[in-house]
């Protein structure tokens, strides 16, 4: 192989990483994932829209929902979204301790949300209003339960990210992970506002 060819290949390998910087496609790929998740929730909302009045002579929203408890649960998730914003601000300042503290507060609110939701599900099952009782309850448990599973996954991701930050600090890779988790967490917030409005508030009218 000639020296000219060798030099050219050497220059190619030196330049190639600059065409594919680390993490360049992470944000785009995560947006694609969120859009696919959005489509899934759109289908679940549509299913609830069709089955939301299929009570099968059983209990309906006015008989089952405790709107005050659901409002408290909604506040937990909204507060967790705010505290995650504070964690992002601390990260932008390079404040590792502040980032971890705000992430811990976010996790606390997220776990409170899950605890209240599990209490609500347990209460409904105790009242004999399980997903097999009617089309309405099947659609309700599927929609709300799917959102709850997403919050559970987000909480596990949050714990994992906190461990990574404690071990390696606010390195670029952890900052990208923070940005992706932030998008995911706020997305869950938006979906829950839809659930609260469409399922609970309209159901009580």
Beta carbons within 10 angstroms of residue 171's beta carbon: 12
**Contact (CB, 8 A) for 177 and 161:** yes
- Closest by CA to 196, choosing from 125, 130, 120, is 120
Question: What pLDDT score does 143 carry?
Answer: 98
Report angle CA 71, 34, 80 to the nearest 5 degrees: 35
For residue 179, being part of any structural domain is answered with yes
Q: Report the domain count for the chain.
A: 1
Domain span including residue 74: 28-204
Whether residue 1 lies inside any domain: the answer is no
Classify residue 8: in a domain, yes or no.
no
pTM over 0.95: no
The tens digit of pLDDT for each residue in 50-105 reads 999 999 999 999 999 999 999 999 999 999 999 999 999 999 999 999 999 999 99
CATH number for position 181:
1.20.120.80
């Amino acid at each position: 192989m000639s020296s000219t060819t060798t030099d050219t290949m050497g220059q190619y390998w030196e330049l190639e990483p600059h065409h594919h910087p680390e993490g360049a496609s992470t944000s785009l790929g995560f947006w694609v994932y969120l859009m696919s998740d959005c489509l899934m929730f759109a289908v679940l909302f549509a299913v609830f829209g069709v089955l939301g009045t299929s009570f099968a002579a059983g209990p309906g929203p006015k008989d089952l929902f405790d709107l005050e408890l659901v409002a408290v649960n909604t506040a937990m998730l909204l507060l967790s979204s705010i505290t995650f914003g504070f964690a992002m601000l601390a990260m932008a300042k390079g404040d590792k301790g502040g980032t971890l503290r705000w992430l811990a507060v976010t996790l606390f609110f997220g776990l409170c949300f899950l605890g209240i939701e599990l209490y609500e599900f347990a209460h409904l099952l105790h009242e004999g209003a399980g997903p097999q009782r009617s089309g309405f309850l099947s659609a309700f448990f599927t929609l709300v339960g799917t959102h709850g599973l997403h919050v559970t996954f987000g909480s596990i991701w949050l714990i994992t990210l906190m461990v990574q930050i404690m071990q390696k600090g606010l390195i670029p890779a952890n900052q990208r992970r923070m940005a992706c988790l932030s998008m995911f967490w706020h997305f869950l917030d938006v979906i829950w506002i839809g659930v609260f409005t469409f399922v609970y508030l309209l159901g009580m009218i």
